[in-house]
Amino acid sequence: MATINFGGVDETVITRDEFPLDKARQVLRDETIAVIGYGVQGPGQALNLRDNGFNVIVGQRQDSSSWEKAKSDGWIEGETLFPIEEAAAHGTIIANLLSDAGQIAVWPTLKERLTPGKTLYFSHGFGITFKEHTSIVPPAEVDVILAAPKGSGTSLRRLFLSGGGLNSSFAVYQDATGKAYEKAVAMGIGIGSGYLFETDFKKEVYSDLTGERGVLMGALAGIIEAQYQVLRQRGHSPSEAFNETVEELTQSLVPLVGENGMDWMYANCSVTAQRGALDWKGRFREATLPVLNELYDSVASGKEAERTIQRGSTQGYRQELEAELAELRESELWQTGATVRQLRSLSK
């Protein structure tokens, strides 16, 4: 375990050097990891674990598109691919990678199969933290651990295939065997994490829900829509409004932020741009602070969890989500984006 100083604050970080894959395999050598759910994280984690040499099986609803996807990814019916009940019975580590709302309906099935000494694994603190809403209360004799990749399951798999690793957080909620901590770290390494940051279930879910509703997804889409609208209403063409709002952001400037920080991106822009951005960023911070505080309160009060569960548990919810995404896709802004992207690939 390494102590690393982040901006003046010491934190505990696990690196692959001190906890190499061999050690992870050693810790989990007698375990069968049952990955339950084959949505986005399910495939990423199950395939990385399998390629890393762990004993993995997949549990999924039969006659679903995910079942077919699992088969096409090389999981074999009756050998490594089972209905959820069977996979949970075979598994000694039950990796609950169902959707957060879906976990509620399936919980009694998993709970029944969580016999003493088994491990319950999550990639989100949601089910445990919001137990008033989910009723997920694990038996006392099982370990309860978490490894949560800080990114999409798609990125987790892509990075793994290219030899890299996505950073994840990890946590122990319940240590019945005295081995929960090393199991959590071993799972983190096994699924293809780069560095592992220690957290607890509550902090993981509060920060995750805030991040995705805020800057990572909600605020990102919202501020893009607002700026695009202003430019269009002031007479700019769709392509001009899109280029100055999205294309330059994703293709030029955000990669520079990722590479070497905000000041580096600024330093690579004109003095005119730097002056204006430095003058205006405070206005944007102050304007969004109340919204972000409201968001955090909504997360901490359980309201966000309640809404996720309520909406996510209704029949036909996937189609509703699809329709909302289609509306986004078909808007002038994102239709313009599709055309701009084609021009991008043409110029390669």
Ligand X SMILES: CC(=O)[C@](C)(O)C(=O)O
Contact positions with ligand X (CB under 6 A) in 192-211? 208
Q: Nearest distance from residue 141's CB to ligand X, in Å?
A: 30
Q: What does the alpha-carbon distance between residue 295 and residue 168 come to, in Å, rounded to a whole number?
A: 23
Q: Nearest distance from residue 107's CB to ligand X, in Å?
A: 19
Q: Is 270 annotated as a binding residue?
A: yes
Helix axes 303-312, 271-300, angle to 10 degrees: 80
Contact positions with ligand NAI (CB under 6 A) in 130-149? 148-149
* Radius of gyration of the CA atoms of the chain, in A: 22
**Surface-to-core class of residue 42, CB atoms within 10 Å of its CB (0-12 exposed, 13-18 middle, 19+ buried):** buried
Q: Nearest distance from residue 139's CB to ligand X, in Å?
A: 27
CA-based diameter of the chain, in Å?
67
- Catalytic position from the list 90, 124, 133, 236: 124
Of 62, 64, 152, 310, which lies in the binding site for ligand X, with binding defined by CB under 6 A?
Answer: 152
* Chosen from ligand X, ligand NAI, Mg ion, none, partner binding at 119 (C-beta under 5 to 8 Å by type): none
Of 24, 41, 170, 232, which lies in the binding site for ligand NAI, with binding defined by CB under 6 A?
Answer: 41
Q: Is 10 annotated as a binding residue?
A: no
Active site residue 236: no
Stretch that binds ligand NAI, among 9-17, 93-101, 180-188, 253-261 (CB under 6 A): 93-101
Whichever of 61 and 90 has its CB closer to ligand NAI, that residue is: 61
* Chosen from ligand X, Mg ion, ligand NAI, none, partner binding at 42 (C-beta under 5 to 8 Å by type): ligand NAI
Binding-site ranges for Mg ion (CB under 5 A): 208, 212
Q: Nearest distance from residue 104's CB to ligand NAI, in Å?
A: 8
Q: How many residues are given for the chain? A: 348
Question: Closest residue to ligand X, Cβ-based?
Answer: 212
- Interface residues with ligand NAI (CB under 6 A) are 37-42, 61, 64, 66, 97-100, 102, 105-106, 123-124, 126, 148-149, 152-153
Annotated binding site for Mg(2+): 208, 212, 244, 248
Residue positions forming the annotated binding site: 208, 212, 244, 248, 270
